[in-house]
Structure 1
Amino acid sequence: MKIRLGLVVLMVAAIVAAPRCFAADSSAPRVGLVIGNSKYPDADKPLSQAVSDAREFADELKRAGFDAELAEDLSGDAMRRAFDRLYQRTKPGAAALVFFSGFGIQSGRQSYLIPVDAQIWTEPDVRRDGVALESVLNELNSRGASVKIALVDASRRNPFERRFRSFSAGLAPVIAPSGSLVMYAAALSAVVTDNDSAHSPFVSALREEVRAPGLSAEEAFNRTRTAVTRASRGEQVPWISSSLADDFVFVPGAATADKPTAEKPAAATAPVEAAKPALAPPEAKPPQAAEAKPASSGGDDDKLVLALASDPTVKSLTAQIADKPSDGNAYYRRGQVYASKGAYRTAIKDFDEAIRLNGKDVEAYNNRCWARTVIGELEPALADCDQALLLRPNFVDALDSRGLLHLKSGRDKAAIADFDAALKVNPRLTSSLYGRGLARKRIGLTSEGEIDLTTAKKLDPNIGKEFAGYGVK
């Protein structure tokens, strides 16, 4: 499955309906990793601000009570070890923060953080040598972090792009788990140039705002965006995406009112044109094929689509589509956002468009298979998964999606075969471990099934709730 979510409809509905409150973050563990990469051999010269910005921001985090590790000019192996140490320090309920300044590349609809020794000549090299931001956030989530924050100052014109035939500048929107707050130093797909000052305008503004007592992280980031936009006269506009349910505060205390707060987007009064009302996901039911039914229509999904109309990622992607209706990538990314929030039928419509524009979009086929499986449209879902695997044999995400489909259909042996194949590619794929465990128990392999379920729950304590949200128990 390309997109991972549990009872997202209930969570999003709660976020929409409930007033925001301050989380008890002052007592929760706080861990951070701050990376400044400046000395890239492929660049004409070292980045002038990456290391100094990282040092300054690491100091700010330590003053705010974070157990923050500072790392500079990391190779690929060193970056992976640094992230592994962060994961080990992340305990259930913790607030985990990642700051990265250096070069970043978007490839395959994801943003990758690039180590200094990366050998990048083709786009597959990006996925081999880079660290995917979405993977970092998902791993922090699986470790139980209640708040996940990513600050990325990597919207630079990098030295690798001239080697690609097809290249998208800047960074891509991130599909982050619930409880995440992500901020880029510049707008999606935009690039900025370092100036000659000791620190970037982004970190200079951010450092000031996170010091304010009682100011929520989301408001601090909004103020940072306003300050950077004004300082650059609109040439650099940071991008923010938030799915926090509670306000996280860097410095506890009474909120200050000495600065005007950045205006937040007004609630949408109607869905955007391309995001027509979708249908609610099915209730969790036993996984027999005869009981798999399409979701019934209702007002809950209408509310989701209305709420998402003002989501920064949805707004940005909708604007891209309006400007260029042939942009299949924008349809695909927006479909991911809708699906991750539970607006499955609206997501399927976007995947439809992505596939219409590019009949070989293997990831769109896989995600449409997954979304159709969740709402019980099993026959067309199977055709989508089969097509994805025809286009890309042994595609681990499609194997995982088809395994879920077989599980919902009651074809347990077929599900085990697909999950086995997925786990050969990625032995730590939690959803395949859990799905195989359920299937094994159904066919009488109780002890083997329990081992799979226990292993999956250790990797992701919420995996059971996720499958229950799919209608599989």
Structure 2
Amino acid sequence: MKIRFFFLLPLLISLVPTAPSLAAGDRFALVIGNAKYPDADAPLKEPINDARAVADELKRDGFSVELGENLTGDAMRRAFDKLYGKIKPGSVALVFFSGFGIQSARQSYLLPVDAQIWTESDVRRDGFSLETVLGELNTRGAGVKIALVDASRRNPFERRFRSFSAGLTPVIAPNGTLVMYSAALASVVSDAGGDRSLFVQELLKEIRVPDLMAEETLNRTKMGVTRASRGEQVPWISSSLAEDFSFIPGAGGSRPATPPPAPPAAPAVVANNPPPPPVKPVDPAPAPSTDGGPSAAALADDPTIKSLTAKIAANPDDVNALYRRGQVYASKGAYSLAIKDFDDTLRINSKDVEALNNRCWTRTVVGDLQAALKDCNEALRLRPNFVDALDSRGLVNLKSGAVKNAIADFDAALKINPRLTSSLYGRGLAKQRNGSAQEGALDIANAKAMDPNIVQEFASYGVR
């Protein structure tokens, strides 16, 4: 249930070095979602949504992003060539691929939708070797190469000339490379058929945790996927980064990340919470400090907030900077400041469903439930079946005592994403309050097994 800081899947990375060695414009990403393979029984349900969520997130983070959907071999070749042409010495280059992948001759290949594969040689003819892609990026001078590959799926191609699907294989990559597969080497996972893959859900959540180095972010993603799948899916990571990089320092996940930087005992709804020591009680802050969180003055020296504030000062209508600063404020428990930034984001673009969802969630935490419900309803009107807004509205209804409506929202969210722990736990609480103690206890137990921190997370929202 963490603030939907992408919104965003799904991916990724506004990688910024801890030392100022890269210019702000030297970050390039190619995001590909391939779903409609004619040789498959049915289109994959996750890659397009995953790719769009990742592309949206990267754009918010200042990446120059190219998004490709259902690319043929010729289209993938042109997309890679375009990426190669942008690279300058020291650039950060990121490739995200969701679709079918296959290993051949100890290399992993990304497959276009028109791949015609009947033999091993067809793989090398029609597929795109991940090692070759990373090598070309390195040759062009990229200082940091990132590959995030959600392609460990059973596919129809391997079965034609093998007795089983073997997943992907290790990458022999140049220095300065970070690679992550959605599942372990030589293993496959089924397409769950949800709104997003489990891999992208966890990745988008973790890259928004403030100030994590990239390797730690991916390790946390790995642990999240492993925990949520109960060990059935364990991502694989390989790193040869020579420097520390962080995924947008200071920017949290789609709701304040777990664990949030703000003290867990400082939920916005507890009126007698003492403010953190740095806060001056007389500090008015840009918005009334009704949440007991830090003031603008107390957070002014935070590097990310300082940078975003400078961008907003230069351009008060910089919607990406306003949205991102709202996320950072929310992740630090400064909810009034976050709401103000989401207000300004929506003033510029009233149809920004991510900002509506974030403001809904933040208003819920501070107890402004009527306004929160209005935000969530509008987000769902603009994007029906938006799982994050369903999850947020479930929390609104739970806190307001409309437990039947809460159960309906959490049911709808879990139908889209059965592993959404926050909806599972919230539904358990709602069922208990609706008189179904045994059913509720089962949901709560399952949610706690998937995420041991879920009880503390809800407590920080003022829900016990």
TM-score normalised by the chain length of structure 2: 0.50
TM-score normalised by the chain length of structure 1: 0.49
